[in-house]
Amino acid sequence: MDPLGARSQFVEVLNLTTWDQHEGQEDGEDKGKVIERDEVDHLTDQINSLLSPFPFREDINKKIILFNGDVALLNCTAIVNTSNETLTDKNPISDSIHRNAGPELKDELLKLKGCRTGEAKITEGFNLAARFIIHTVGPKYKAKYRTAAESSLYSCYRKVMQLAMEHAMVSVGFCVISTTKRGYPLEDATHIAFRTVRRFLENHGESIESVVFAVSDTEEAVYRKLLPLYFPRSREEEGASLPLLPADIGNAEGEPVVPERQIRITEKPGILEDNSEDESLESGLGLVGNHAFARMEGDVDKQRKLILQGQLSEAAQQKQHQRNYNRWLCRARAEDLSDIAALKALYQTGVDMFGRTVMVIVGRNIPVTLIDIEKALLYFIHVMDHITVKEYVMVYFHTLTGEHNHLDTDFLKKLYDIVDIKFKKNLKAFYFVHPTFRSKVSTWFFSTFSVSGIKEKVHHIETLQQLFTCILPEQIDIPPFVLEYDARMNGPYCSSHSSGL
């Protein structure tokens, strides 16, 4: 209430519902179940927490608020304004902030002399309830320059959180930085916002008590859908969200990872470290640049001709292969692959008995005759690139596939020839579940005559019971139709059998 007794238009952050209290997450029964599970199966929960890159953290969820309303009305330490590089952008968010802050804000912004894209600058809040306004400039989005846009948007959220920490702010109210005017796809932008804030709170957020995401009706549905992926409210929600996380979740700070920019520096340049021959091809000169001049390689066309004539050295051929893979990877990151992702034919799940990441392929979900096969190849590379830096296994469900689901050997050979050496080196097992006689013959022929070094890694699995001796049931997300088929053909799975594994 203001001194005259009229209701204030400003919204108290302390009165808003925090994320851990949303949608039935009461203090009673649900939390009791989580505590009971911790006591009964503490070891399993520890494993599951390691599985998810964004594990259930009640302390962090208490800091998160989703608010449908005007960010300018929030009574918190600072609110965020999204603008252009001259800090004069006309958009609904900025207009409301200026209107409520008063004319002094415009004068103050003139003194700042602009702000670069991805940067953030701070002013007083003037007539706002918020003490400060943090002004940031989001990128203009073009699919062609997607990587640069991702890095700039990450920088916006990161710089805001950094300023909040440096000024010992208790609460921050974020607007949607990537406005419609700048063309950034809302869902992609929201992933970056959530993972950046989550990582910052994990690593540096001790002094920050509240982070408010202020949205409109248009944006609320997307924010509500994606929040559980980065801020799961229970172990169960954490597990359910894991397969829905995108392939690219950034590094330990949430920053987009661009392998092409990674330059490996050793303690003694010019001397290979032990067991580093393969790595030097992956992360050395091959990632510095794509053209001959940048890499001091001479005539690229001449090298290709030498390859065809069999006269190029093995090391040069490997570097040529690395360049080719990098080109495919850049294409995969630049292209819209949402239609392939929607098939849910490839996804990450838990870990096997040795702690190795498990990737699942669902054969029945691949409509080979209907999809763009080249886009499918790009999607595979996009999803798998960061998985294959460590040891991993693949589970292929051949269950109930038809002729229209079968990838021909030419495609598989092309994929094998394109992928980076780490795909092959770190693949430790390929579990072929519910094979047919024909598929066994095809696999044998392919692994014997078409590719090298993979035959011994292929294991034909007739029943899920056999699969569970390698991967615990709770560590793999199995499509319902596969479970139904296996129960019908092999009888229901008895969980007591796995207790002695």
- The mean pLDDT of 75-90, rounded to a whole number, is 95
Q: What is the pLDDT of residue 302?
A: 53
Confidence category of residue 295, pLDDT binned at 50, 70, 90: very low
Average pLDDT of the residues of the chain: 81
Evaluate if residue 334 carries a pLDDT over 70. Answer: yes
Confidence category of residue 291, pLDDT binned at 50, 70, 90: very low
Q: Give ∠ CA 52-54-56 in degrees, rounded to 5.
A: 95
59-234 folds as: Leucine Aminopeptidase, subunit E; domain 1 (3.40.220)
Q: Which residue has the higher pLDDT, 114 or 309?
A: 114
Helical pair 300-308 and 314-334, crossing angle rounded to 10 deg: 120
Q: What is the pLDDT of residue 339?
A: 85
Q: What is the pLDDT of residue 251?
A: 87
Evaluate if residue 276 carries a pLDDT over 50. Answer: no
- The mean pLDDT of 417-441, rounded to a whole number, is 90
Cβ atoms of residues 154 and 161 within 8 Å: no
Tokens 């007539």 correspond to 127
Measure the CA–CA gap between 175 and 70, rounded to whole angstroms: 8
Sign of the CA dihedral 340, 344, 345, 348? Answer: positive
Measure the CA–CA gap between 399 and 208, rounded to whole angstroms: 49
**Percentage of the chain lying above the pLDDT 70 cut:** 78
Measure the CA–CA gap between 184 and 172, rounded to whole angstroms: 22
The DSSP output letter for 138 is P
Q: What is the pLDDT of residue 338?
A: 84
Q: What is the pLDDT of residue 209?
A: 95
SS3 sequence, 335-383? Answer: CCCHHHHCCCCEEEEEECCCCCEEEEEEHHHCCCCCCCHHHHHHHHHHH
Cβ count near 270 (within 10 Å): 5
Give me the residues paired with residue 359 across strands.
348, 394
Confidence category of residue 493, pLDDT binned at 50, 70, 90: low
Q: What is the pLDDT of residue 256?
A: 86
pLDDT (tens digit per residue) in 190-219: 999 999 999 999 999 889 999 999 999 999
CA 71 to chain CA centroid, nearest Å:
27
- The mean pLDDT of 467-492, rounded to a whole number, is 92
Evaluate if residue 271 carries a pLDDT over 70. Answer: no
Evaluate if residue 494 carries a pLDDT over 80. Answer: no
How many residues does the structure list for the chain?
501
Measure the CA–CA gap between 335 and 379, rounded to whole angstroms: 9
- The mean pLDDT of 144-157, rounded to a whole number, is 90
Most confident of the ranges 174-188, 227-241, 364-378? 227-241
Evaluate if residue 285 carries a pLDDT over 50. Answer: no
Report long-range pairs for 443-452 (Cβ below 8 Å, ≥24 apart).
445/409, 446/409, 446/412, 446/413, 450/409, 450/412, 450/413, 450/416, 451/412, 451/413, 451/416
Q: What is the pLDDT of residue 200?
A: 96
Q: What is the pLDDT of residue 130?
A: 96
Measure the CA–CA gap between 127 and 103, rounded to whole angstroms: 9
338-500 folds as: Phosphatidylinositol Transfer Protein Sec14p (3.40.525)
Q: What is the pLDDT of residue 98?
A: 96
Q: Which residue has the higher pLDDT, 167 or 2?
A: 167
Evaluate if residue 289 carries a pLDDT over 50. Answer: no
Cβ atoms of residues 344 and 386 within 8 Å: no
Measure the CA–CA gap between 265 and 350, rounded to whole angstroms: 33
Give start-end residues of each CATH 3.40.220.10 domain in the chain. Answer: 59-234
Confidence category of residue 498, pLDDT binned at 50, 70, 90: very low
Which tokens in the block code for residue 109?
Answer: 């912004």
Measure the CA–CA gap between 52 and 61, rounded to whole angstroms: 16
Q: What is the pLDDT of residue 23?
A: 57
Q: Which residue has the higher pLDDT, 228 or 323?
A: 228
Q: What is the pLDDT of residue 309?
A: 52
Which tokens in the block code for residue 29?
Answer: 């029964």
Amino acid identity at 308: L
Evaluate if residue 29 carries a pLDDT over 60. Answer: no
Q: What is the pLDDT of residue 413?
A: 81
pLDDT (tens digit per residue) in 93-149: 999 999 999 999 999 999 999 999 999 999 999 999 999 999 999 999 988 788 889
Report long-range pairs for 372-379 (Cβ below 8 Å, ≥24 apart).
372/340, 373/407, 373/411, 375/335, 375/337, 375/339, 375/340, 376/340, 377/328, 377/411, 377/414, 377/415, 377/418, 378/328, 378/331, 378/332, 378/335, 378/337, 378/340, 379/332, 379/337, 379/340, 379/341, 379/346
The least confident of 83-87, 238-242, 310-314, 440-444 is: 310-314
Cβ count near 453 (within 10 Å): 11
Measure the CA–CA gap between 6 and 17, rounded to whole angstroms: 24
SS3 sequence, 246-278? Answer: CCCCCCCCCCCCCHHHCCCCCCCCCCCCCCCHH
Evaluate if residue 39 carries a pLDDT over 90. Answer: no
Which tokens in the block code for residue 11?
Answer: 């919204």
Cβ atoms of residues 238 and 56 within 8 Å: yes
Q: What is the pLDDT of residue 320?
A: 78
- The mean pLDDT of 296-320, rounded to a whole number, is 58
Give start-end residues of each CATH 3.40.525.10 domain in the chain. Answer: 338-500
Q: What is the pLDDT of residue 443?
A: 81
The least confident of 229-238, 270-279, 323-332, 389-398 is: 270-279
Which tokens in the block code for residue 224?
Answer: 């509500």
Report long-range pairs for 479-483 (Cβ below 8 Å, ≥24 apart).
479/362, 479/364, 479/365, 479/397, 479/399, 481/364, 481/399, 481/400, 482/362, 482/397, 482/399, 482/400, 482/433, 482/434
Q: What is the pLDDT of residue 267?
A: 42
